[in-house]
Amino acid sequence: MRSFFQRQGKFRPRSSEEATGDSAIPEDMWVKCPKCGELIYSKELDHNDRVFPKCSHQFRLNARERIALLADDGSFEEWDSGIQPEDPLQFVDPKGAYADKLVSTQQKTGETESLITGSSRIDGRPSVMVVTEFAFMGASMGSVWGEKLARAVERATREGLPVLTVNASGGARMHEGLFSLMQMAKTVAAFDRLGRARLPHFSLLIDPCFGGVTASYATVADVILAEPGALIGFAGQRVIEQVTKQKLPADFQTAEFLLDHGMIDLIVERALLRATIATLIDHHVAPSRPSFSANGHEAGDLLAGTDDIARAVNAEPVRHSAS
Amino acid sequence: MSTTEPVSEETVSSHAAGLRPIDRVRLARDPQRPSTLDYIAELFTNFVELHGDRTFGDDGALIGGLATFHGRSVLVLGHQGGSNTRENLARNFGMPKPEGFRKARRLMRHAEKFQLPIITFIDTSGADPGIGSEERGQGTAIAESLLEMIGVQVPIICVVIGEGGSGGALAISLGDRLLMLENAVYAVASPEACAAILWKDASFAGEAADTMRVTAADLQRFGIIDELIVEPVPAHEAPRETIVAVGLRIAAHLDELVHRFDVSDPGSVERLLKERYAKFRRIGAWHEA
C-alpha cells in the first residue's frame, strides 16, 4: 500500500493537524469517523488517502496533501507564491481588522493565501494544478485567488497545458467586498481564453464548495468531477432553510444529488482520481494518438500503469454514473 | 476605469450629505424607486419582451426583450421585482432562478447573432436561494451567463439602478461599461447577511455596510465602476428626471462604443473583447513580494 503522507523534503505534505496549528497532537492517535462513529488509527487513515475504509467517509485533505495525492512525486512547482493579499476596504468586524486576520491566518496555515497554483505532472502528463486551502479563511475567493488563477490559466494557455482546479470554497471573501465578487468575472474570463485555445479545464469539486466559486469557473469546466459525499451548492443550507421554511431533502447538495440533477459529469473515489484525470487529459490533449497512456498502455485502460492502482482495483468500484 | 472618455465628475448630491451607507442601501431598495420596466417604458420604444429559457420556464425576476434605443435596435435585460406584495410574489422579489439566468444567456446569444448591442439594468437582492434553484444548478446558471457575457461579440452597457446583490447581480453586469446611480449599491453580500455571519447578528447591517464599501462613490474610487450618475434627489422622488439622466449616459457610452467597434469587422470585435478582458483582468487588490 502506498502512502502519500510519509514523503520527506520540500513537498512533504503537512498533516491537517499541523496545518491548523495543533502540532502537539501525536501522530498515532485514534480518529473518530463522523459518519459511522468508529475509530481508526490516524496513520492507517493517512495510508488510505484519508478515506475511512469501512464507510468510505472522505476526510478533508489540506492543499499540500491534495497536491501530494494528485501530482507525481516532487513534480509540483508552485507559481506566484509571492502574491500577497491587501486590505483595500480597511475592513473591520467585531473580531478585529481584516489586515490582522490575514497575518494570523498566514501564521496558522503556513500559506500566504487560500489558493495554490503551479505546474505538475499527473501520471506523467504535464498540467497546471490549482488547489484551494480550506483552512485559510474557509477558502474564500479574494483578489489574490483571482490574480493567481488568472496568471496560471494565462500561462497554461500560452504553454498549451491542461488545467486541473480542485475547488473547495466558502464563497467570495466578504472582507474584500466587491473586489472579491469581481474575481468571479476575472477567473471566468481567463478560462474563456483557455477554452478558445481548445485546452481543457477539469474541475474537481470537493467538500465543501459554495457561493462564488460554484457560480463561476468551477461549474463551467469542460469536465466536472466531484468526490463522493462532497457538499456542493450555490446558497448555504442554513440560508435556504431560513428563506424557504422548507425541510431540505436528505441528500440535498451532495455530489450524488448534483449528479442526479445533471450538474456534474462524474463522482470519483479518491483512490481513482489521479488515473481518471490522467485519462481525461489524454482524451483532450492528445486524442488522436492510438495508444495515449504515458506508460504505453492501451487507450481507455483506466486502471493501468499507476502504482496506486493495485489498491484501487481492490477497493469498491468507481462510481462513474448514477446508480 | 481607464478607457472611458468624458464621464461625470465624482460628485455627491447635496441631499447626500450625512447619508450613511446603510441609508443608501435603503434608498436603493425603496419600492417606489424606478425599476427596469420603468426605464424600458421611458427610454425605449418598440419593446417586445421575449420569454423563457427554452428548457424549463420563464422567470419574471429577470426580463428581457428587443427594443429601440436612440434609433437603434438593442437587447435590453434587467432584474425586475415588484412594488407591492402581489407583484413581488409574481416576480419572486426580483431574485432570479436558474431559468432567469439561462434566459439571459439565450437572449445574449440572440443579440450576438443579430449584432445588437446589449443594455442591462441591475436591481436585485441576489439570486434565488431555494431548493428548486439548487436542483436546477443556480451556480452553474450564473457561471454560464458570465462566460457568455465575457465573450459575446457586441458592445454591452450595464447600469446598477438599485441594489446590486452579489452573484445574481454580477451575472448580467459583466459589460464594456458599468454605470451606477449615486444611491445604488453593489455588494458581494447583503449587509444583513454579512452582519449575520461576522457580527452573528443581522441587526448590525449598518456597521457591515460601513465597512463593506458598497456605495457608488466607493466603487468609483476603487475603479470598479466606470461612471457614477448623480441623483440630485433620490430617484424615487424624481423618477422621470433620474431615468432621463441615465438614458443620456447610456446613449453617450453606446455611441462611443458603436463608433469605436464595428461588430461586422472581426478585427474590431477582437479589440472589443480584448478591452473587455483587460477591464476585468486588472481588478484586484494585491501586491507581490
| pLDDT for the residue numbered A7 | 43
pLDDT > 60? residue A314: no
Reported as a single tens digit per residue, the pLDDT across A263-292 is 999 999 999 999 999 999 999 987 665 444
| pLDDT for the residue numbered A27 | 57
Q: pTM of the predicted model, to two decimals?
A: 0.88
* Residue-wise burial string across A146-169, b where 16 or more C-beta atoms lie within 10 A, e elsewhere: bbbbbbbbebbbeeebbbbbbbbb
Contact call for B211 and A92, based on CB within 8 A = yes
Optimal mutation site among A80, A86, A181, A223, interface B, most CBs of chain B within 10 A: A181
Q: Three cell numbers at A88? A: 483595500
Which of the pair, B146 or A21, is modelled with greater confidence?
B146
Contact call for A179 and B281, based on CB within 8 A = no
* Inter-residue contact B36 to B61 (CB < 8 Å): no
First to last CA, chain B: 26
pLDDT tens sequence for chain B (289 residues)? 333 344 444 455 656 678 999 999 999 999 999 999 999 999 999 999 999 999 999 999 999 999 999 999 999 999 999 989 999 999 999 999 999 999 999 999 999 999 999 999 999 999 999 999 999 999 999 999 999 999 999 999 999 999 999 999 999 999 999 999 999 999 999 999 999 999 999 999 999 999 999 999 999 999 999 999 999 999 999 999 999 999 999 999 999 999 999 999 999 999 999 999 999 999 999 999 8
Please give the Cα distance from B38 to B239 (Å, whole number): 9
Cβ contacts below 8 Å, chain A against chain B, sum to 191
Residue B185, helix vs strand vs coil? strand
Contact call for B281 and A144, based on CB within 8 A = no
Q: What is the ipTM of this complex?
A: 0.94
Place of cell 496555515: A109
The bridge status of strand A77-79 relative to strand A115-122 is antiparallel
Contact call for B288 and A82, based on CB within 8 A = yes
Length of chain A: 323
* Inter-residue contact A5 to A65 (CB < 8 Å): yes
Optimal mutation site among B105, B122, B134, interface A, most CBs of chain A within 10 A: B134
| pLDDT for the residue numbered A16 | 45
* Inter-residue contact B167 to A215 (CB < 8 Å): yes
**CA of A91, closest CA in chain B: separation in Å?**
5
Please give the Cα distance from B267 to B270 (Å, whole number): 5
Q: Three cell numbers at A143? A: 483578489
Whether chain A has a CB inside 8 Å of the CB on B151: the answer is yes
Optimal mutation site among B140, B185, B220, B269, interface A, most CBs of chain A within 10 A: B140
Q: Three cell numbers at A260? A: 442526479
Q: How confident is the model at residue A322 (pLDDT cuts 50, 70, 90)?
A: very low
Neighboring chain B residues of A248 at a CB cutoff of 8 Å: 131
Reported as a single tens digit per residue, the pLDDT across B232-273 is 999 999 999 999 999 999 999 999 999 999 999 999 999 999
* Inter-residue contact B175 to B118 (CB < 8 Å): yes
- Chain A residue with Cα closest to B187: A178
**CA of A280, closest CA in chain B: separation in Å?**
21
H or E element at residue A256: helix A255-260
Q: How confident is the model at residue A5 (pLDDT cuts 50, 70, 90)?
A: very low
Nearest neighbour of A93 by CB, restricted to B129, B130, B198: B198
Neighboring chain B residues of A174 at a CB cutoff of 8 Å: 188-189, 194, 197-198, 212
- Chain B residue with Cα closest to A187: B281
H or E element at residue A156: helix A143-159
- Chain A residue with Cα closest to B215: A178
Neighboring chain A residues of B166 at a CB cutoff of 8 Å: 172, 181, 212
Nearest neighbour of A144 by CB, restricted to B199, B281, B286: B286
Reported as a single tens digit per residue, the pLDDT across A208-234 is 999 999 999 999 999 999 999 999 999
Largest CA distance in chain A: 61
Reported as a single tens digit per residue, the pLDDT across B82-125 is 989 999 999 999 999 999 999 999 999 999 999 999 999 999 99
- Chain B residue with Cα closest to A253: B134
Angstrom CA distances, B287 to A104, A122, A183, stand at 18, 31, 16
List residues bridging with A129 in a β-sheet.
A118, A164
Contact call for A188 and B129, based on CB within 8 A = no
Neighboring chain B residues of A243 at a CB cutoff of 8 Å: 129-130
Whether chain A has a CB inside 8 Å of the CB on B188: the answer is yes
* Inter-residue contact A240 to B134 (CB < 8 Å): yes
Query: Burial, A295: exposed, middle or buried (Cβ in 10 Å; 0-12, 13-18, 19+)?
Result: exposed
Please give the Cα distance from B116 to B136 (Å, whole number): 29
Q: Three cell numbers at B55? A: 428548457
**CA of A204, closest CA in chain B: separation in Å?**
14
pLDDT > 50? residue A61: yes
Whether chain A has a CB inside 8 Å of the CB on B244: the answer is no
List residues bridging with A40 in a β-sheet.
A31
Contact call for B288 and A180, based on CB within 8 A = no
pLDDT > 80? residue A1: no
pLDDT > 80? residue A301: no
pLDDT > 90? residue A28: no
Residue A127, helix vs strand vs coil? strand
Neighboring chain A residues of B276 at a CB cutoff of 8 Å: 189
Optimal mutation site among A188, A209, A217, A244, interface B, most CBs of chain B within 10 A: A188
DSSP-derived letter for residue B23 is H
